[in-house]
Chain A
């Protein structure tokens, strides 16, 4: 446990100093938000102000991208010699990976606050009480945890950090065919099927309903089921893969 804490501190220090990755993970979502609100938003009519609609989607995009970077940092460790050094110090794989995931959660908490702040500046007006805010934070946390562990699995599978980096693009793309930027019913029917049944949509809808009071339907249960499922499968896979990579 204390090893995991020491290694979380390490990962946070490393991500703070990896200026390019840090800027990308902070600037990209904000640029995308500004682009959607000011460039495309004028043409998108959905009944409410577009900024209100899009901010939860951007939060997810941001968290997804931030979490997926875990794949690169895990792969960096696995391909360099440092994991062997940790193991020779009797530090287990669980601590190494937990360190990466914890750092990812902290990073994403910071970037979420930033995106929310910019969102409020450009007219996002949530109406939620403390309990709903906490619940929304909890759902986002679960999503970041699940995706970070999934990213750790990708990092363990990838032969090179560059290969692991490909995963971040996949995750960046995932919110597009979802309800993040435009309502699903405006999409071609083939894509609608995918968009309705992929994990990003129920997470976004849950956060929307918690922060904006839109009808939630079965989204919260779907979101929690998806995220818990991904989390459990990923942790199991990560343990197996770490063991196999270090045999």
Chain B
């Protein structure tokens, strides 16, 4: 394939393309050469811990922030030179609900529709349709200040769909949500993709990336450290994981202490600890004898192939955020 035909092919099939994105805030280098490619009509997830550069990447791709170095094209347009065209092709849902507390849900949606250039009547119709689609009909006439965190997120997502975007950017769309609202949001994202929208999603939850994304890029310290399908990423971590289920909390603490750094997975609630293993019976037996000489601490064990958790740990040297129920509702706490 010649270089020219390759380029034509790319602009046709590629919704998002970034080459060598760099960004610093003061002395802090937030992005250190990020390369990305997202095919049209797919879900792409940028997965990484807090402060990895996910939000900055989204802001550069959605034209809100200018990169110090590198270039990017979204929906076929350059994010700097053609920023207005890019803006007409995308929608953005940020980390915090960008809606007015003192307006009703319907008023917010109507306003966004009008700002997106819809005539008054069409904006009104669109608002009603979106309220229905996002299960907010009963709350439509209420001020957003009275909404729960999940309702706010749904309204926020609805607000980014007043026009049909080519690429939808979702920056940590389910952070701080309860499991039910998270599931509801996942369903909506699934419907959007079925309708042909390209979704660019950031998350710190492995489960979310695993569930939704066709391809995943793991970002850490401002660099993409791995990229591929969920299955491909899992293959990158050789071997399997030995999961020990401990008898009680005391046994858990003791074994966790003995294992130290070797425990690549910890779950204090389920009393499980995971250790990398190649599955060799002798070595598993040695390990069990080492951590449980009295033969009463480990209740059961299981060996399974690596999960995205293991990939994440291997790539970033950190244990990934488990999806936990928020103790405080982040939305309300923020606003």
What is the CA–CA distance of A80 and B145 in the complex, to the nearest angstrom? 14
Query: Which residues in chain B, 91-149, are within 8 Å of chain A measured between CB atoms?
Result: 91-92, 94-100, 102-103, 107, 111-112, 114-116, 143
Quick check: B92 and A90 within 8 Å, CB to CB? no
What is the CA–CA distance of A84 and B156 in the complex, to the nearest angstrom? 12
Give the number of chain B interface residues (Cβ < 8 Å). 31
A residues near B100, Cβ cutoff 8 Å: 10, 14, 82
Quick check: A85 and B111 within 8 Å, CB to CB? no
CB distance from B198 to the nearest CB of A (A): 15
Quick check: B99 and A82 within 8 Å, CB to CB? yes
Quick check: B92 and A17 within 8 Å, CB to CB? no
What is the CA–CA distance of A225 and B160 in the complex, to the nearest angstrom? 45
- The answer, among B102, B107, B111, for a CB contact under 8 Å with A18, is B102
Quick check: A81 and B96 within 8 Å, CB to CB? yes
- The answer, among B90, B92, B103, for a CB contact under 8 Å with A84, is B92
Complex interface: stretch among B61-69, B239-247, B322-330: B61-69
A residues near B59, Cβ cutoff 8 Å: 84
Quick check: B94 and A81 within 8 Å, CB to CB? yes
What is the CA–CA distance of A3 and B99 in the complex, to the nearest angstrom? 17
What is the CA–CA distance of A33 and B28 in the complex, to the nearest angstrom? 53
B residues near A13, Cβ cutoff 8 Å: 102-103, 107
Interface assignment of B262: CB less than 8 Å from any CB of chain A: no
Q: A90-B84, A90-B87, A90-B88 are in contact. Are A81 and B116 (CB under 8 A)?
A: no
CB nearest to B165 among chain A residues = A88
Quick check: A84 and B64 within 8 Å, CB to CB? yes
Interface assignment of A89: CB less than 8 Å from any CB of chain B: yes
Quick check: A89 and B112 within 8 Å, CB to CB? yes
Interface of A is mostly: helix
Interface assignment of B159: CB less than 8 Å from any CB of chain A: yes
CB distance from B240 to the nearest CB of A (A): 43
Interface assignment of B335: CB less than 8 Å from any CB of chain A: yes
- The answer, among A14, A18, A84, A89, for a CB contact under 8 Å with B116, is A89
CB nearest to A83 among chain B residues = B98
CB distance from A237 to the nearest CB of B (A): 21
CB distance from A78 to the nearest CB of B (A): 12
CB nearest to B116 among chain A residues = A89
Quick check: B64 and A246 within 8 Å, CB to CB? yes
What is the CA–CA distance of A89 and B115 in the complex, to the nearest angstrom? 7
Q: Which of B64, B84, B160 has its CB near the most chain A CB atoms (within 10 A)? A: B64
A residues near B99, Cβ cutoff 8 Å: 82
- The answer, among B64, B103, B111, for a CB contact under 8 Å with A87, is B64
B residues near A91, Cβ cutoff 8 Å: 115
Quick check: A80 and B335 within 8 Å, CB to CB? yes
Quick check: A81 and B87 within 8 Å, CB to CB? no
B residues near A90, Cβ cutoff 8 Å: 84, 87-88
What is the CA–CA distance of A2 and B90 in the complex, to the nearest angstrom? 21
- The answer, among B62, B95, B96, B115, for a CB contact under 8 Å with A86, is B115
What is the CA–CA distance of A90 and B249 in the complex, to the nearest angstrom? 55
Quick check: B143 and A85 within 8 Å, CB to CB? no
- The answer, among B97, B102, B143, for a CB contact under 8 Å with A81, is B97
What is the CA–CA distance of A91 and B86 in the complex, to the nearest angstrom? 13
Query: Which residues in chain B, 157-209, are within 8 Å of chain A measured between CB atoms?
Result: 159-160
Q: A88-B90, A89-B116 are in contact. Are A247 and B102 (CB under 8 A)?
A: no
CB nearest to B169 among chain A residues = A88
User: Can you identify 22 A-B contacts, CB atoms within 8 angstroms?
Assistant: A7-B115, A10-B100, A13-B103, A14-B100, A14-B102, A17-B143, A81-B95, A82-B98, A84-B92, A84-B98, A85-B98, A87-B64, A87-B87, A88-B62, A88-B63, A88-B87, A88-B160, A89-B87, A89-B116, A90-B84, A90-B87, A247-B66
B residues near A (Cβ < 8 Å) are: 59, 62-66, 84, 87-88, 90-92, 94-100, 102-103, 107, 111-112, 114-116, 143, 159-160, 335
Minimum-distance CB pairs A-B, first 8: A81-B98, A85-B98, A90-B87, A88-B92, A17-B102, A81-B94, A81-B96, A82-B98
